[in-house]
């Protein structure tokens, strides 16, 4: 039995079909990345797993229990499936340490002292122990995202869900966050990562899932997805993404011309 | 007309009137503001309830509360406090409440004070409800999702994430209600609450020194509102952890403090 089994999940928002018949298993210790173009339903899938959205149909079996069943303790499930968001979503009224402590005390009912110790340990892991008394507004974007990861780790989740954790960051801060995520993957943390960082998908993840228009189009090892799979939609997505900005400009001779002419 | 003479007579012989009036006005404004804030938080919750589409058993209690809170807010903000005070006075008298017998003989609290405290609190509640509701709406949804993704329940999110920020962000408007209350508590003289205006009026009538007495209370109101403004600025200053020095003079001239 896999740790997480998504079976035929569909999700509509009113008339818009966002997810269609998604099935996917995630094993303990696996690092799965989800790639796909904007609007393909990646975030919605993650949010369904964390129950921030209620799937329209299907089953999500987590640790042997269908978490969509009535009577399942929603908040307990969420605490075991921590989420890291693109926009950090830290609590602005608390300092770094309290951000990491509050969930432990309120949800896991740990005592304060123990929670602080655990928070300090996880902040150390992400390299921010010296910032633990800073206010959220006084730290950089990269630091915020590392705090968000520490906050998630403090819950000792079975799976961490990342929704484009580096997309809102300035380029020079992307690597400090990816480095932390790589360490987590190396330590066999189960994680599902929605990302536009193709290098992360290629080099770090055990498995890559390509989504398009609400369905899983391809699912396999990084080598399979990036080198072997010949699916047309995947190919067009990869070539679109892989071209550098310079190459894209070169494809437009007129634009390129006007630049040189003006010189 | 000898205004200087009137001043000295009023302050010399009736100084205690003004002091009592000041105490009563401060009491009314503070109780009204904090009491109104506390009740206003509940009012905001009531107005924010969303019974639509919920289970029937939930709808059954949520609809009446929501409708009550909305009606309360509209009616109390849409009528003058003076009229509310009079209606409250005669309404409760018809029910047999004897306000002047409550806390009889206790300085400042005697007479119609308790009724006045209730009226100003109920009135402020309506405004505070609006302020807190706006404050709650202003907290970004991302933080709520962040809390939810950790497994926090709605009440925990409210008390630890959204409400503290709603209150923090509303402090300037909440403070403004306090200043409004310092001034508007004067209308409670219509139900004989012994606040500053009422007391100033009493002192004046002892010897027909109306202009001088009203000038005195005008100056006192001005002083009170300036002090209140100063206190509020100081609180905001402290909370923002600004580095520059706080200067009371800035309050008078509305100097903008530089953003940190
Ligand atoms: N709450 C909602 N109500 C209505 N439509 C929604 C809602 N959330 C998402 N959608 C729609 O669902 C589709 C998929 O959205 P989703 O955010 O899952 O895409 P995504 O793959 O994460 O895209 P991106 O890479 O831009 O983040 C989009 O067309 C979006 O407009
Ligand atoms: Mg997304």
| pLDDT by 10s per residue, chain B, length 260 | 688 888 888 888 999 999 999 999 999 999 999 999 999 999 999 999 999 888 899 899 999 999 999 999 999 999 999 999 999 999 999 999 999 888 888 888 888 999 999 999 999 999 999 999 999 999 999 999 999 999 999 999 999 999 999 999 999 999 999 999 999 999 999 999 999 999 999 999 988 899 999 999 999 999 999 999 999 988 888 777 655 566 666 666 554 444 43
CATH code 1.10.3720.10 for B3-254? yes
Contact B153 A75 (CB under 8 A): yes
Contact B150 A50 (CB under 8 A): no
Contact B150 A77 (CB under 8 A): no
Q: Is the CB of A18 under 6 A from ligand 1?
A: yes
- Going from the C-alpha of A243 to that of each of A205, A211, A239, B37, the distances in angstroms are 22, 20, 6, 58
Of A82, A87, A91, the CB nearest to B149: A82
Contact B152 A151 (CB under 8 A): no
Tokens describing residue B155 = 């009440």
Distance from residue A39's CA to the centre of ligand 1 (Å)? 5
**pLDDT tens-digit readout, A168-192:** 999 999 999 999 999 999 999 999 9
Distance between CA atoms of B87 and B116, rounded to whole angstroms?
12
Of A50, A92, A102, the CB nearest to B149: A50
Chain B interface, best mutation among A93, A110, A153, A154, by max B CB count within 10 A: A93
Contact B143 A76 (CB under 8 A): no
DSSP string, B32-95: HHHHHHHHHHHHHHHHH---TTS-HHHHHHHHHHHHHHHHHHHHHHHS-HHHHHHHHHHHHHHT
pLDDT of residue B250: 64
Distance from residue A42's CA to the centre of ligand 1 (Å)? 8
pLDDT of A252 over the 70 cut: no
Q: Is B161 on the interface with A (CB under 8 A)?
A: yes
Distance between CA atoms of B140 and B14, rounded to whole angstroms?
54
Name the closest ligand to CA A53.
1
The 8 Å CB, 24+ separation contacts for A235-244 are A237/A35, A237/A36, A237/A37, A237/A210, A237/A212, A238/A198, A240/A37, A241/A196, A241/A198, A242/A198
**pLDDT tens-digit readout, A184-232:** 999 999 999 999 999 999 999 999 999 999 999 999 999 999 999 999 9
Q: Is B152 on the interface with A (CB under 8 A)?
A: yes
User: Which one of A39, A166, A240 would you pick to mutate in the ligand 1 pocket, going by the greatest count of ligand atoms within 8 A of its CB?
Assistant: A39
Q: What is the DSSP letter of A26?
A: E
**Closest residue on chain B to A157 (Cα):** B150
Which amino acid residue places its CA nearest to atom 11 of ligand 1? A18
Angle at A85 between CA B133 and CA A55, to 5 degrees: 80
Residues 36-95 of A with CB under 8 A from B: 50, 52, 74-83, 85, 87-93
Tokens describing residue A195 = 């990302």
Q: Is the CB of A227 under 6 A from ligand 1?
A: no
């Amino acid at each position: 039995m896999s740790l997480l089994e998504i079976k035929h999940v569909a999700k509509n928002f009113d008339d818009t079909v966002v997810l269609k018949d998604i099935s996917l298993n995630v094993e303990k210790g696996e690092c799965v990345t989800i790639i796909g173009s904007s609007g393909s339903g990646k975030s919605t899938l993650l949010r369904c797993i964390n129950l921030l959205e209620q799937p329209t149909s299907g089953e999500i079996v987590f640790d042997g229990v269908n978490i969509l069943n009535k009577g399942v303790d929603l908040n307990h499930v969420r605490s075991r499936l921590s989420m890291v968001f693109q926009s950090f979503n830290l609590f602005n009224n608390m300092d770094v340490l309290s951000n990491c402590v509050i969930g432990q005390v309120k949800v896991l009912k740990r005592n304060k002292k123990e929670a602080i110790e655990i928070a300090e340990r996880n902040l150390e892991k992400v390299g921010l122990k010296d910032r633990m008394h800073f206010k959220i507004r006084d730290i950089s974007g990269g630091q915020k995202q590392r705090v968000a990861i520490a906050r998630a780790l403090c819950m000792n989740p079975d799976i961490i869900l990342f929704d484009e954790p580096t997309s809102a960051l300035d380029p020079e801060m992307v690597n400090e966050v990816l480095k932390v995520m790589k360490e987590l993957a190396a330590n066999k943390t189960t994680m599902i990562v929605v990302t536009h960082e193709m290098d992360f998908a290629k080099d770090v993840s055990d498995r890559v899932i390509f989504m398009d228009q609400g369905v899983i189009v391809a699912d396999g090892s990084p080598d399979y997805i990036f080198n072997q799979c010949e699916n047309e939609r995947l190919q067009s997505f990869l070539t679109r993404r892989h071209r550098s900005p310079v190459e894209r400009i070169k494809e437009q001779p007129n634009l390129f011309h006007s630049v040189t002419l003006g010189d | 007309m000898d205004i200087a003479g009137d001043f000295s007579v009023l302050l010399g012989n009736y100084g205690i009137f003004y002091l009592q009036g000041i105490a009563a006005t401060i009491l009314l404004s503070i109780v009204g503001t904090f009491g109104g804030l506390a009740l206003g938080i509940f009012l905001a919750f009531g107005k924010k309830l969303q019974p639509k589409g919920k289970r029937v058993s939930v709808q059954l209690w949520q609809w009446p509360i929501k409708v009550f809170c909305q009606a309360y807010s509209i009616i109390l903000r849409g009528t003058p406090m003076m009229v509310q005070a009079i209606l409250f006075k005669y309404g409760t008298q018809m029910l047999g409440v004897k306000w002047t017998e409550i806390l009889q003989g206790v300085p400042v609290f005697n007479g119609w004070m308790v009724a006045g405290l209730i009226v100003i609190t109920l009135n402020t509640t309506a405004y505070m409800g609006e302020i807190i509701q706006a404050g709650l709406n202003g907290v970004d949804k991302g933080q709520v999702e962040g809390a939810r993704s950790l497994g926090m329940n709605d009440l925990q999110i409210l008390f630890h994430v959204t409400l503290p920020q709603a209150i923090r962000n509303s402090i300037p408007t909440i403070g403004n209600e306090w200043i409004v209350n310092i001034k508007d508590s004067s209308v409670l003289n219509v139900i004989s609450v012994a606040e500053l205006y009422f007391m100033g009026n009493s002192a004046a009538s002892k010897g027909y020194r109306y202009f001088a007495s009203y000038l005195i209370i005008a100056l006192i109101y001005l002083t009170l509102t300036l002090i209140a403004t100063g206190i509020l600025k100081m609180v905001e200053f402290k909370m923002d952890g600004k580095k520059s020095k706080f200067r009371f003079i800035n309050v008078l001239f509305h100097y903008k403090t530089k953003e940190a």
